[in-house]
Structure 1
Amino acid sequence: MTEQSTYTVRKYKDGDEIEINRLFNEILCKDRHRTLDEWRWKMKENPAKVKDIANYITVVEADGKVIGQYANWPVDFKYKDEIVKVGHPIENFIHPDYRLSFDVQLDMFNRQYEATSEEDVSFGFGFPNQVAYLIGKRFLGYKDIGELATLSTRLSFLFPVKRRFPFLPKVLFSLIQQMSEYFYKIKINLTKRQSDISVEEVVEFNSEYDELWNKVKDYYPLLAVRDGVYMNWRYLKKPTREYKIFFARKGAEIKGCIVLKIIDDSTYFWGARVGLIMELLCLKDAGIPVELLKTALNYFVSGGVDFSVAVLLKDDILLNGFLNAGFAISDNIYKHRMVYKIYDEKGIDENVLKDSRNWHVMFGDFDPL
């Protein structure tokens, strides 16, 4: 930014999404461009109850164009025994030509912070990267909850072969992949499945799922509302539709749910195909998490996945299920810090928020993967 440049920080207004999305694609999208339909799904079709979505999106203008954005993702959140409004910071970016002035960033945050009072937002939480974390701790009042455990398991021995011997013929890679798939499916299914548990792929979150949600939600003092309306929006109405969903049953009753996604991304393993565990919700019946995770791993192996990855706070009751299914804590892969900021000082008990044992978060809580 030059000394002569001036800028204006303001609320979002209808039509801004064209410039916001253009800037998002220019700065953040490396592999593919996000469509306006995806933006509308994310920000305007979100089922969280808001007074005005403009209170969650702050933009900055300079030289007659949008040059930055600070946005919050509104989330209906279970806090103890009530539902409160929460803000999850997402898509904070500034055009490279204007990054020399930290005032732009700070003014966007302060304007967004003011807007939360118009929406009765109780608190915010997020998973900032290293730079955002340092800025947030020093200037924005972020407080720590802790680090998420990164859980992973290898699902292919083709991956190291391709990295070390990329010159090998494709036919050999294909043969190794077939052998790898055969080996890992045997390994995954070495332990006998529980005959009274069945797992099925589903295409919607229906009233039966809501019965599961209404039981599971009481296990945690703090978690995002994951009722059928939210889950259908989050995973089935997203324009790119890239998720697989499975339910576990005992008899006719749904006992658990898992949501999966396959990505080609180098965040966790450079050059690998990765299977993400987006959601895992289960009753405390023995064997349910493991059966769902075994189904997930079989699906990933069939999809040519090299590693499966999940994130979880280490005190979550689901951790043992992951370990029993063959996952290991791999904190050397990537560290996700989790932070919070209280807006409603009178209504929110900070002792509840800062205790990681109270939370349930997974990849599904991240800025929509």
Structure 2
Amino acid sequence: MAETSRAQIAEQIEFSAFSTADLDGISRLITAMSDDGANLHLRDKSPAYYRWMYFDNPTGQAFGCFARHGDRIVSSFAMAPKLVVVGGRTVRLGKTMDMFTDPDYQGMGLIRKCADRVFAEARDHGVDGWYVTPSVNSYPIFKNKWGYAEPFQPIFRARLIDPRAALAAVSPALVRRLGPQLVTRLSRWPRRRLNLPKGWTVSQPTRFGPETDQLWDAIAPTHQVALVRNASYLNWRYVDNPDDYSLWALHHQGELRGIVVTKQTIRRGLPVGDIVDLICARDDATTLRLLVRLAVDRCAAAGCAMVEAWSILGSLFDRRLRSAGLLIARAKMPLLLSPDYPDRLLYDAEAWWLTQGDGNDV
């Protein structure tokens, strides 16, 4: 695209807030910009997904802006409002998402203009700060250009269920070097099946109700920084979502003690069980361990080759995930905070109860 043409096009671009009439165009842009295929599938990107994400959130509609050239959406930026417990108070934070620009329109400053509009709208609606789980491409924009803070290191904490399949997906050459005999031995990797202690039972709810609200009301005071995980939020996030999740509830002596949500994704062509959410008291190590083991057991039964969860490297939560069997620090993933958020508790790795459900990639 010639510079004169780009300058003319820049003058023709219009910026607008999201509406339900734009869902097809937003879906086309984001699907075209994503890496999904036979070897990678994390979540739905249909118009139905974006209707759910942008307009059905019980905390409020998403703040969004897109750039349009003619009848084509060429850039987008959005933020979902979240209710978060921070030091005993419930505040509104934002989670940024869907930061995309069509390659033909990159270098025109469209994202900056979209983001400025979104940030201003969010502040006008009582959102004082937000967090970001940036992609490789957006990380330098947030961190280096916009000055976002990176106070701790989130990671994927994982456990192998089928080492042979995992090796074949990650390094086929290594599998060939190991030879068929050793690879066959790996295929017999022992799997410890879940045996719940006496008094513990599992159920598989189809929706969340008053019992979930009672659990959250009881455990919320134990958390320092955590998304509000009441029935309204959990139903929206995992039941009404067009994507598919598995819900498991753990009871002790008939009382609900915890909830775990799992989802099967495809990474490098490998079926992976993602522990998307964990709901229990912050100081209840026994329930957390059983929830993780329950997730591993159910994901293994579904044919997953690996199970993984988000963690924060070096935190107490991380140590408890390791003790529950998620021994492998598989990969790092950044989490950034908007500059100058007034409550410094958000910068404390030990304060966070962070799960994949707090993002929007899965």
TM-score category (smaller protein): 0.7 to 0.9
The reply to whether residue 349 of structure 1 matches residue 342 of structure 2 is: yes
What's the offset of the Cα at 1:140?
1.9
Give the 3-state SS of the residue equivalent to 2:60 in structure 1: coil
**1:361 match:** 354
**1:115 match:** 121
**1:202 match:** 205
**2:26 match:** 20
**Farther off after superposition, 57-66 or 27-36:** 27-36
What fraction of aligned residue pairs are identical, expressed as a percent? Answer: 19
Name the aligned partner's letter for residue 337 of structure 2.
Answer: Y
What's the offset of the Cα at 1:299?
1.2
**1:146 match:** 152
Question: Residues of 1 paired with 2:124 and 2:166: CA distance?
Answer: 53
Question: Residues of 2 paired with 1:118 and 1:285: CA distance?
Answer: 38
What's the offset of the Cα at 1:129?
2.4
Give the 3-state SS of the residue equivalent to 1:205 in structure 2: coil
Contact 1:184 1:301 in 2 (8 A): no
Unaligned runs of 5+ in 2: none
Question: Residues of 2 paired with 1:63 and 1:18: CA distance?
Answer: 15
Instruction: Quickly say closer, same or farther: Cα 1:135–1:368, change in 2 above 3 A.
Output: closer
CA deviations 1:333-364 (Å, max 9, x no partner) are 3211111115xx7xx63422212222111101
What's the offset of the Cα at 1:158?
3.8
Name the aligned partner's letter for residue 340 of structure 1.
Answer: L
Contact 2:213 2:230 in 1 (8 A): yes
Question: Residues of 1 paired with 2:335 and 2:361: CA distance?
Answer: 16
**2:254 match:** 252
Name the aligned partner's letter for residue 280 of structure 2.
Answer: C
Name the aligned partner's letter for residue 292 of structure 1.
Answer: L
**2:309 match:** 310
Instruction: Quickly say closer, same or farther: Cα 1:228–1:316, change in 2 above 3 A.
Output: farther
**Farther off after superposition, 271-280 or 104-113:** 104-113
Give the 3-state SS of the residue equivalent to 2:201 in structure 1: strand
Question: Residues of 1 paired with 2:53 and 2:284: CA distance?
Answer: 34
Contact 2:150 2:335 in 1 (8 A): yes
CA deviations 1:233-270 (Å, max 9, x no partner) are 11111123x2111111111111111111111123xxxx
- Report how many aligned residue pairs link the two structures: 343
**1:100 match:** 107
The counterpart of 1:337, out of the listed 322, 334, 338, is 334
Unaligned runs of 5+ in 1: none
Question: Residues of 2 paired with 1:286 and 1:120: CA distance?
Answer: 35
**2:51 match:** 40
**2:75 match:** 68
Name the aligned partner's letter for residue 272 of structure 2.
Answer: V
What's the offset of the Cα at 1:136?
1.0
Contact 1:194 1:287 in 2 (8 A): no
CA deviations 1:289-319 (Å, max 9, x no partner) are 2222222112111111111111112465443
Name the aligned partner's letter for residue 132 of structure 2.
Answer: G
Question: Residues of 1 paired with 2:230 and 2:46: CA distance?
Answer: 27
Instruction: Quickly say closer, same or farther: Cα 1:34–1:127, change in 2 above 3 A.
Output: closer
Q: TM-score, normalised by structure 1?
A: 0.84
Question: Residues of 1 paired with 2:246 and 2:55: CA distance?
Answer: 24
Name the aligned partner's letter for residue 145 of structure 1.
Answer: P
Question: Residues of 2 paired with 1:286 and 1:63: CA distance?
Answer: 55
Q: TM-score, normalised by structure 2?
A: 0.85
CA deviations 1:58-90 (Å, max 9, x no partner) are 111224532111111121222222222211110
Give the 3-state SS of the residue equivalent to 1:152 in structure 2: strand
Contact 1:289 1:318 in 2 (8 A): no
The reply to whether residue 275 of structure 1 matches residue 264 of structure 2 is: no
**1:81 match:** 88
**1:59 match:** 66
Name the aligned partner's letter for residue 281 of structure 1.
Answer: I
Name the aligned partner's letter for residue 4 of structure 1.
Answer: Q
Question: Residues of 2 paired with 1:73 and 1:29: CA distance?
Answer: 23
Contact 1:273 1:307 in 2 (8 A): yes
**1:300 match:** 299
Instruction: Quickly say closer, same or farther: Cα 1:275–1:160, change in 2 above 3 A.
Output: closer
**1:230 match:** 233
Question: Residues of 2 paired with 1:161 and 1:118: CA distance?
Answer: 50
Question: Residues of 2 paired with 1:275 and 1:257: CA distance?
Answer: 16
What's the offset of the Cα at 1:188?
4.2
Structural RMSD (CA):
2.8
Instruction: Quickly say closer, same or farther: Cα 1:338–1:34, change in 2 above 3 A.
Output: closer
**2:320 match:** 321
